[in-house]
A and B are shown apart, each in its own frame.
Chain A
Amino acid sequence: MWRKQDEPKPTPTPGDRVVSPAPERTQSLATSPNEPRTAAGHVSSAIVIKGELTGNEDLFIDGEVKGTIRLADGNLTVGPNGRVTADIDAREITVQGKVTGALRGRERVQIARTGEAEGDIVTRRVSIEEGAVFHGKIDVVRAEEARAARAGGMTPSTDSKRRFSNPAEDSPE
């Protein structure tokens, strides 16, 4: 008859999608550079923090923080419910909620479409989604300037290579 139990089990081929149980989420206290970045710290929407937050891991803030935030090698995400009034220094800063204060993202600052930021941004790359609200200054420093800033103190921007062209030269044919 039908010998279903003897049928070979299908083995996944490289093209198949393998669904495996989700790995148990762990919070590592020390992440190595090769490990994927995860939101190690989480300030939920019911939490209010006043003071200085420092660390070396990624942080997700969906609550309220007033003070200063320094993440030596961590990324900061201010969630949609997050309300932060602080000067922030982090590797990457993503704003989905409201932030007031100076934002220093050593690699990148992103303001999402739900984000509102007021203050000055100093970073290497800036990304602003449509619908985002921003009031302040954007100062994009180049890699060498960022290195110099890390070494000690910010230096003013050097001369830019790209310039505006003469309209006469740019006129359409």
Chain B
Amino acid sequence: MGLLNKLRVAHERQAATPSAGGDKHPTGTPVGDRSGPAYALGVRLSNGLKEFLWHLNGIGNGSLLDLGPVWQTTVSFFVERGFKVYTEDLLGAWKEFLRVEEDRLREMAPGMDAAEMTPTARAERFLSNSLQYSPDTFDAVLAWDLLDYLDSELVPRVVTRLTELIKEGGVILAIFHSRKPDCFFRYRVVNVQNFELLPSPALFPAQRIFQNREIQNLFSRFHSSKTFVGRDQLREGLFIR
């Protein structure tokens, strides 16, 4: 059983255990997972995150874009360090977009122009409402493993858009699976060298496994890149514009 699979099983076991109800912080922020077994199991030492944060050292009043769902721990971590935090759950938005598109497709009368329902047109349409920020807005982007799950038509467009949005010298942290993951994870920053993997209901199956060359090509407009390969089949990529 792989490490990621163990994480998923442990997390499911913990989810099935009834909570005493005393694990909520007075502010309403759930903190049980900080001390509970899932936290300990799901936390991963990340050299990519360490480098990412080291790169942000000294940036005052920076802006960070988190492309996963919003988490208190991630927000607090960066806010306490003077960052403005933007969150946009791009996979969640893509899922919702596809649902709406399917409804549209069902309602399309026969004979109507189907050209706008091609994957390319769909990707363009999705991006016309997503990642809408001014150029050079961000010092840092947490992309997590987003690119593994997006349509192949969408991936290069998202990277191109991120390239426009990130400032020169800004940095992106992305994760790539080395083999198809057993389950779907969400991610959040825990501290300066760890992030947490949270098994979640799958929004999509992984669409592909990127080869290193493909990753380099995707981020070819970036000034430099670094990859950290973990024993848990995760590759962390750090891309500096």
Query: Which parts of A120-157 form the interface with B (CB within 8 Å)?
Result: 126-130, 132-140, 156-157
Query: Which of B28, B45, B88, B92 meets A129, CB within 8 Å?
Result: B28
Q: B48 CB to closest chain A CB, in angstroms?
A: 10
Question: What string of 1s and 0s marks CB contacts (under 8 Å) between B34-67 and chain A?
Answer: 0000000000010100110110111011000000
Bound complex: CA A153 to CA B36 (Å): 43
Residue in chain A with minimal CB distance to B25: A127
B61-A138 in contact (CB<8A):
no
Bound complex: CA A129 to CA B29 (Å): 5
B70-A132 in contact (CB<8A):
yes
Bound complex: CA A112 to CA B29 (Å): 9
B28-A164 in contact (CB<8A):
no
Which of A8-16, A82-90, A165-173 has 4 or more CB atoms under 8 Å from chain B? Answer: A165-173
Q: CB of A160 within 8 A of chain B?
A: yes
Query: Which of A129, A138, A140, A167 meets B193, CB within 8 Å?
Result: A167
Q: Give the number of residues in A that approach B within 8 Å (Cβ atoms).
A: 31
Bound complex: CA A2 to CA B61 (Å): 79
A167-B50 in contact (CB<8A):
yes
Q: CB of B87 within 8 A of chain A?
A: yes
Q: CB of B84 within 8 A of chain A?
A: yes
Q: A125 CB to closest chain B CB, in angstroms?
A: 8
Query: Which parts of A91-128 form the interface with B (CB within 8 Å)?
Result: 110-112, 126-128
Q: Which residues of B contact A134 (CB under 8 A)?
A: 70, 87
Q: Which residues of A contact B27 (CB under 8 A)?
A: 110, 127
A170-B29 in contact (CB<8A):
no
Residue in chain A with minimal CB distance to B85: A138
Using A138-B85, A170-B193 as known contacts, say yes or no to A162 and B70 having CB atoms under 8 A apart: no
A129-B57 in contact (CB<8A):
no
Bound complex: CA A170 to CA B75 (Å): 21
Q: A104 CB to closest chain B CB, in angstroms?
A: 14
Residue in chain A with minimal CB distance to B79: A140
Using A110-B27, A164-B81 as known contacts, say yes or no to A135 and B192 having CB atoms under 8 A apart: no
Bound complex: CA A160 to CA B29 (Å): 23
Q: CB of B151 within 8 A of chain A?
A: no
Bound complex: CA A168 to CA B147 (Å): 29
Residue in chain B with minimal CB distance to A138: B85
Bound complex: CA A164 to CA B82 (Å): 10
Using A135-B87, A138-B87, A165-B57 as known contacts, say yes or no to A128 and B82 having CB atoms under 8 A apart: no
Query: Which parts of B55-106 form the interface with A (CB within 8 Å)?
Result: 56-58, 60-61, 69-72, 75-76, 79-89, 92-93
Using A128-B71, A167-B50 as known contacts, say yes or no to A159 and B61 having CB atoms under 8 A apart: yes
Q: CB of A4 within 8 A of chain B?
A: no
Sample (27) of A-B pairs whose CB atoms are under 8 Å apart: A111-B70, A112-B28, A126-B75, A126-B76, A127-B27, A127-B28, A128-B70, A134-B87, A138-B75, A138-B79, A138-B86, A138-B87, A139-B84, A158-B61, A159-B60, A160-B60, A160-B61, A160-B83, A162-B81, A162-B82, A165-B53, A167-B50, A167-B54, A167-B192, A170-B192, A171-B193, A172-B193
For the complex with contacts A126-B79, A137-B85, A167-B192, 6 further pairs of A-B residues with Cβ separation under 8 Å are: A133-B70, A164-B81, A165-B53, A165-B192, A167-B47, A167-B51
Q: Which B residues form the contact surface with A (CB < 8 A)? A: 27-30, 33, 45, 47, 50-51, 53-54, 56-58, 60-61, 69-72, 75-76, 79-89, 92-93, 192-193
